[in-house]
Structure 1
Amino acid sequence: MNWGCIPTKALIKSAQVFEYINHAKDYGIKVQDAEVDFTAMVKRSRDVAGGMSKGIQFLFKKNKIDQLIGWGRVKPGKKVSVTAEDGAETVYSADHIIIATGGRARELPALKIDNEKIIGYRKAMVLEDKPKKLVVVGSGAIGVEFAYVYNAIGTEVTIVEFMDRIVPNEDVEVSKALEKIYKKNGVKIMTSTEVTGVDTSGEGCKVTVKDKKGNESVIECDKVLSAVGVVSNVEDIGLEDVGILVEKGKIQVDEYYKTNMPGYYAIGDVTPGPALAHVASAEGIICVEKIAGHHPEALDYNNIPGCTYCIPEISSVGYTEAQAKEAGYELKVGKFPFSASGKASAAGAKDGFVKLIFDAKYGELLGAHMIGANVTEMIAEIVAIRKLETTGMELIKTVHPHPTMSEAVMEAAAAAYDEVIHL
Structure 2
Amino acid sequence: MAENEFDIIIIGGGPGGYVAAIRAAQLGFRTAVVEREHLGGICSNWGCIPTKALLRSAEIFSYFGHAKDYGLTVEKFGFDIAAIIKRSRGIAGQMNTGVQFLFKKNKIATIWGDAKLKKAGEIAVTAPTKGVLGPAIEAPKGALGAGTYKAAHIIVATGARPRVLPGLEPDKKKVWTYFEAMNPDKFPKSLLVVGSGAIGVEFASFYRSLGSEVTIVEVLPQILPVEDADIAAFARKQFEKQGIKILTGAKVTKLDKKADAVTATIEVGGKTETITAEKVISAVGVVGNIENIGLEAVGVKTDRGIIVTDGYGRTNVKGVYAIGDVAGPPMLAHKAEHEGVTCVEMIKGLKVHALDKAKIPGCTYCHPQIASVGLTEAKAKEQGRQVKIGRFPFIGNGKAIALGEADGICKTIFDAKTGELLGAHLSGAEVTELIQGFVIAMNLETTEEELIHTIFPHPTLSETMKESVLDAYGRVLNM
TM-score by length of structure 2 reads 0.87
- Structure 1 residue 22, shift from structure 2 partner: 0.9
2:373 aligned counterpart, secondary structure: strand
Q: Does 1:67 align with 2:110?
A: yes
Match for residue 197 of structure 1 among 254, 258, 266: 254
Alpha-carbon shift at residue 393 of structure 1 (Å):
2.1
Residues 394-409 of structure 1: pairs in structure 2 closer than 5 A:
394-409=450-465
Report the equivalent of 1:23. Answer: 66
Kindly indicate whether residue 391 of structure 2 is the aligned counterpart of residue 335 of structure 1.
Answer: yes
Report the equivalent of 1:211.
268
Task: State yes or no: 1:385 paired with 2:441.
Answer: yes
What is the DSSP-based 3-state SS (H/G/I as helix, E as strand, rest coil) of the residue aligned with 2:433? helix
Find the counterpart in structure 2 of residue 155 from structure 1: 212
Hey, what does 2:379 align to over in structure 1?
Answer: 323
Instruction: Report the Cα distance in structure 1 between the residues aligned to 2:236 and 2:311, rounded to whole angstroms.
Output: 37
Q: Tell me which of 13, 16, 23 is aligned to 2:56.
A: 13
In structure 2, the residue matched to 1:228 is 284
1:12-161 alignment, distance < 5 Å: 12-85=55-128, 89-161=146-218
Q: Which residue of 1 aligns with 2:473?
A: 417
Partner of 2:226: 169
Query: 1-side partners of 2:254 and 2:242: how far apart?
Result: 27
Task: Tell me if the contact between 2:120 and 2:318 (Cα under 8 Å) persists in the aligned partners.
Answer: no
For residues 32 and 208 of structure 1, the distance between their equivalents in structure 2, rounded to whole angstroms, comes to 41
Q: Aligned-pair distance for 1:86?
A: 7.3
SS at match of 2:318: coil
Instruction: Give the CA deviation at 1:33.
Output: 1.7
Which residue of 2 is the match for residue 273 of structure 1?
A: 329
| Counterpart amino acid of residue 169 in structure 2 | K
Q: CA deviation at 1:89?
A: 4.1
Equivalent in the alignment of 1:184: 241
1:219 is paired with a residue whose SS is: strand
Deviation string 1:254-302 (CA, Å, 9 cap, x unpaired) is: 2211111111110000012310000000000000011112121111111
Note the alpha carbon deviations across 1:209-259, whole angstroms, 9 max, x for none. 10131x111111111000000000011111111111111000111221111
Measured against aligned partners, the alpha-carbon deviations of 1:308-332 in whole angstroms (never above 9, x if no partner) come to 1101100001111111111111111
Q: Flag the 1:128–1:330 CA change in 2: closer, same or farther, 3 A.
A: same
SS of residue matched to 1:393: helix
Match of 1:249 in 2: 305
Counterpart residue type for residue 250 of structure 2: T
Give the letter aligned to residue 80 of structure 1. I
Alignment match, 2:45: 2
SS at match of 2:45: coil
Per-residue CA shift, 1:166-199, capped at 9, x if unaligned?
1111111111111111111111111110011111
- Cα–Cα, structure 1 residues 153 and 86, in superposed 2: closer, same or farther, change >3 Å? closer
Determine the C-alpha separation between the residues in 2 that align with 1:22 and 1:202. Answer: 33
Give the superposition deviation at 1:85.
4.1
Amino acid at match of 1:260: N
Go from structure 1 to structure 2 and tell me whether the alpha carbon gap of 1:167 and 1:295 turns closer, same or farther (over 3 Å shift). Answer: same
Secondary structure, counterpart of 2:59 in structure 1: helix
Q: What SS does the aligned partner of 2:445 have?
A: coil
2:229 maps to a residue whose letter is: V
- Return the offset for 1:201: 3.8
2:318 and 2:383 map into 1 onto residues whose CA distance is 37
Task: Give the distance between the partners of 2:179 and 2:71, measured in 1 at CA.
Answer: 38
Of the structure 1 ranges 79-88 and 249-258, higher mean CA displacement relative to structure 2 is found in: 79-88
Identity across matched positions, percent: 51
Amino acid at match of 2:265: T
In the alignment, the residues of structure 2 paired with residue 6 and residue 320 of structure 1 have an alpha-carbon distance, to the nearest angstrom, of 27
Q: In the alignment, is the contact (CA less than 8 A) between 2:120 and 2:320 conserved in 1?
A: no
Q: What is the distance in 1 between the residues matched to 2:313 and 2:360? A: 17
Task: Give me the whole-angstrom Cα distance separating, in 2, the residues matched to 1:290 and 1:188.
Answer: 48
What is the root-mean-square deviation in Å for CA atoms of aligned residues? 1.2
TM-score by length of 1: 0.98
Q: Secondary structure at the match of 2:436?
A: helix
Unaligned 5+ residue runs, structure 1? none
Q: Which amino acid aligns with 1:120?
A: T
Which residue identity is paired with 2:314?
K
Q: Take 2:120 and 2:443, find their aligned partners in 1: how far apart are those partners?
A: 40
**Aligned-partner Cα distance in 2 for 1:199–1:312:** 33
CA distance in 1 between counterparts of 2:460 and 2:48 reads 26
